[in-house]
Amino acid sequence: MTPTSSSLRRGGRQALTPWMFLLVPLALLVVFSYVPIINMVVYSFTDWDGVSPDYTFTGMENYVEIFTRPELFKVFVASAYYLGAAVVQIVLALYFATVLSFNTRFRNLFKGILFFPYLINGVAIGFVFLYFFQEGGTFDTVLGLFGLGGGQLWLGDPDLVNVSLSGVSVWRFLGLNFVLFLGAIQSISPELYEAAELDGAGRWQQFRFIIAPSLRPLIGLTAILAISGCLSVFEIPYIMTGGAGASETFVIQTIKLAFRFDKTGLASAAAVVLLVIILLVAWLQRRAFPEERVAS
């Protein structure tokens, strides 16, 4: 924007005005975003325990520990389950968004039902599914109705727990993806479908050649959010299993290191590693979808 003549006349005062509006936002940004990030990088090179007044610099020791102690790295196995669940979630969301964008009876009811879980409090969801997966609980009873199931410990078996927990994550977040996809599909001009129908295109062809291409940027954005999301899973496993055993995620481990074992230095290094991975993913996404801006 070019300065108006009046702003040129009152140059000095005018130059200060924007800073008056930015004072509070910038102060909050620096204190609660940048100070923690900078501290985190600094602590990651120290042996600080989070309480002592002083600490010593230990160079790359924390990073070496993270990459050489296999038990610190196994939390990424849990992330893989959530990533797989995210793929299922995006596919299901696409399916339901497409189906409900065409004429359907009780459209708003179905839309509301599919979306509602996204709004529910995370602790409430954790309890709902803790009860759902109990031995002899809802899930076992329903499986029994179909003559299936046989005493699996859905949350106790280390081979099953991440499947159960990432299933809860699909239940919870499907609605958001679905509503975003539905919104994008509905913003496509209806004339396009009419023209396609006149040309004899079926539903699948309409999806393949009209819906899918126009959703491409949104799917790209969703995918990157899914990747950073699966690396920062915390709530559901922490509430449901306490993050014990195989269900421990990267963030739960970092929080435990910092607040239970007083290893602030090591936890900071772990957080830096996570941050670098997420920034890398964001950067790759920008290269893959250069026309899209990541703003959220």
Partner 1 sequence: MTAVRARVASTLKYLSLIVASVVVLLPLGVVLLTSLKTSDELATGSGPLSPPGDWLNFANYVTAFEKGRMAEAAFNTFVILIVSIVGTVFVGSAAAYAIDRFTFRFKGLVVGLFLLATLVPSITTQVTTFQVIDQLGLFNTRLAPIVLYLGTDIVAIYIFLQFMRSIPVSVDEAAKLDGASAFAIYWKIILPLLKPAIATVVIVKGIAVYNDFYIPFLYMPDQGLGTISTSLFRFKGPFGAHWENISAGTILVIIPTLAVFLMLQRFIYNGLTQGSTK
- Residue numbers 55-94 binding partner 1 by CB under 8 A: none
108 is written with which tokens?
């708003």
Q: Binding residues for partner 1, how many (CB under 8 A)?
A: 88
C-alpha 203/C-alpha 207 separation (Å) is 6
Is residue 296 within the footprint of partner 1 (CB under 8 A)? yes
Q: Report in angstroms how near the CB of residue 185 gets to partner 1 at its nearest.
A: 11
Is residue 39 within the footprint of partner 1 (CB under 8 A)? yes
Within 6-35, which residues bind partner 1 (CB under 8 A)?
6, 15, 17-22, 24-26, 28-29, 31-35
Is residue 146 within the footprint of partner 1 (CB under 8 A)? no
User: Whose Cβ is closer to partner 1: residue 84's or residue 117's?
Assistant: 117
Is residue 294 within the footprint of partner 1 (CB under 8 A)? yes
Compute how many other C-beta atoms are within 10 angstroms of the C-beta atom of residue 251.
21
Q: What angle do CA 220, 225, 228 make, to 5 degrees?
A: 130
Listed in sequence order, the residues at least 6 apart from 253 whose beta carbon sits closer than 8 Å to its beta carbon are: 72, 75, 243, 270
Is residue 198 within the footprint of partner 1 (CB under 8 A)? no
Is residue 213 within the footprint of partner 1 (CB under 8 A)? no
The interface region with partner 1, picked from 80-88, 123-131, 152-160, 188-196 by CB under 8 A, is 123-131
Compute how many other C-beta atoms are within 10 angstroms of the C-beta atom of residue 221.
18
Give 193's Cβ-side CA count (13 Å radius). 18
144 is written with which tokens?
């029994």
126 is written with which tokens?
């954790």
Determine the distance from the C-alpha atom of residue 125 to the mean position of all C-alpha atoms in its chain, rounded to a whole number.
16
The interface region with partner 1, picked from 63-71, 78-86, 148-156, 251-259 by CB under 8 A, is 251-259
Q: Report in angstroms how near the CB of residue 24 gets to partner 1 at its nearest.
A: 6
The interface region with partner 1, picked from 36-44, 52-60, 155-163, 207-215 by CB under 8 A, is 36-44
Q: Is residue 47 within 8 Å of residue 55, measured between CB atoms?
A: yes
Within 225-244, which residues bind partner 1 (CB under 8 A)?
228, 232, 234-235, 239
